[in-house]
Amino acid sequence: MKNNRQRLCKINLSIPVYRRGDRARKADCQGLENMLQKVTGDIAENAVPRTALRKTFHLNEILSVETGLPLTKEGVAAVHRLVAFMMETDADAEITLQNRELVRDCLEEQLPFLSDINFSGLASILKYDPAVDNPYIRVWAETQSLRFGEEHTLIPVSRWQRLSRQKKNADRVIHG
């Protein structure tokens, strides 16, 4: 009798078997399958979305975190979004302030070309005109985009740290 139930039901559950025909048992099994699909669908819809493993950001957003200047059209909101992704939290000004240095360090490790950017050019532009909407700042940022590329893929800090530890451990094993 048990093998018959398993054959009729795609799922392996303990279903009480009544002395009815195969059609009735098959209907019971399908009813249970439908109920399980609905429940698992509801669970999936209500699940908290996980942070993406990787996300692409415009260089201006990355440079905004590096310099502290709003170099994007969206301004500070873009910086909050980038820091929120990196820290796997909600976008918030306080979280950005608390984690800016950690995110900067992680950005510099993930994007080594950031050390090649000449920020002294930006400093001289700001001495000339300290306004954030200074058109020369936009030209400087566009020049950096042309030199290093407009978009760059990043991973959150926690995943970066885990990958770094794994790499160090692998290097120790290889090099003794």
Q: What's the confidence (pLDDT) of residue 120?
A: 84
Q: How far apart are CA 146 and CA 148, in angstroms?
A: 6
- Which two tokens mark 75? 């301004």
Look over the chain and give the mean of its residue pLDDT values, rounded to a whole number.
79
Q: What's the confidence (pLDDT) of residue 29?
A: 62
Where do the structural domains in the chain lie, given as residue ranges?
2-46, 55-175
Confidence of residue 104 (pLDDT cuts 50, 70, 90): very high
Contact between 89 and 156 under an 8 Å Cβ cutoff? The reply is no
Q: Is the pLDDT of residue 176 over 90?
A: no
Apex CA 142: angle with CA 129 and CA 70, to 5°?
55
Rounded to two decimals, the pTM is 0.65
Q: How far apart are CA 4 and CA 18, in angstroms?
A: 13
Give start and end residues of each alpha helix (H) in 1-57.
Answer: 2-8, 22-46
Q: Is the pLDDT of residue 136 over 70?
A: yes
Average pLDDT value for residue range 118-122: 85
